[in-house]
Amino acid sequence: MVATLVFPIKEGKVLLAKKTRKIGIGKWNGWGGSQEEGETIREAATRELLQESGLSAQKEDLEYSGKVTFHNQKADGRKFDVEVHMFLLWKWSGEIKPNPEMIEPTFWSINGLPFEEMMASDIDWLPLVLGGEKIEGDVWYIMDQNHLAKPSEIRIVEKLGDVD
C-alpha cells in the first residue's frame, strides 16, 4: 500500500491532529492517507489534506521530504507494509477544520512536539523531516501493542527521486 503524510508549517509550528481511525488511533499525526487508483502520490496528498483538514494545496507546493516503509505485524501474525511519502507544506488556502477521522487540529512548535502522544517511531524521523532533511527508511511495528519491533532504520539522503 502507498500512502502520504503532509505537514503544514506556519511560523515555526506544524499542524497536527489526533487520529480517530485505523493505525494510530488517539495519536497526534500529520494529514494523509492512501493513494487511490489513477492518482499520483502528490494528488493523493492534496486530496487527503483537503478531506481531513479543509486545507487546499497545489501539488507543486508540496515539498517532498522522503519515504518511510512501515512494516506492520498484527496480533494474529498477519503482516502488511505501508510505503509512506512525506511532504512539507508552507502555502495553502481554506479554513482548518476537524473531520470524523482527524480531530483537535493544533499547531505545535517544531521544537516541542508531543512525542509521548505520537507513534513510537515519529521521534526517529519527524525531527529530520521538519528540519529540512531528506530521508528514506524502514520502521517495524507490532500493531497490537503499538510499539517498535526493532529500531527504526532512517537514512538521510542527498537527493530523492521525484514522485508525481
Instruction: Answer yes or no: are the C-beta atoms of 128 and 135 closer than 8 Å.
Output: yes
Please write the tens of the pLDDT for every residue from 52-101. Answer: 999 999 999 999 999 999 998 887 888 999 999 999 999 999 999 988 99
Q: What's the mean per-residue pLDDT of the chain?
A: 92
Which domains does the chain carry? 2-156 (3.90.79.10)
* Backbone angles phi and psi of 41, in degrees to 5: -65, -40
Q: Is residue 145's pLDDT more than 80? A: no
Give the pLDDT score at 148: 74
C-alpha cell at 110: 517544531
pLDDT at 144: 65
Is residue 146 very low, low, confident or very high in pLDDT (cuts 50, 70, 90)? Answer: low
CB count in 10 Å sphere of residue 20: 15
Report the relative pairing of strands 2-10 and 28-29 from DSSP bridges: unpaired
CB crowding 51-88: b at 16 or more within 10 Å, else e: ebbbbebeeeebbbbbbbebebbeeeeeeeebebbbbb
Q: Is pLDDT at 26 greater than 70 in this prediction?
A: yes
Strand pairing class (135-142; 147-156): antiparallel
- Tens of pLDDT, residue by residue over 105-142, are 999 999 999 999 999 999 999 999 999 999 999 999 88
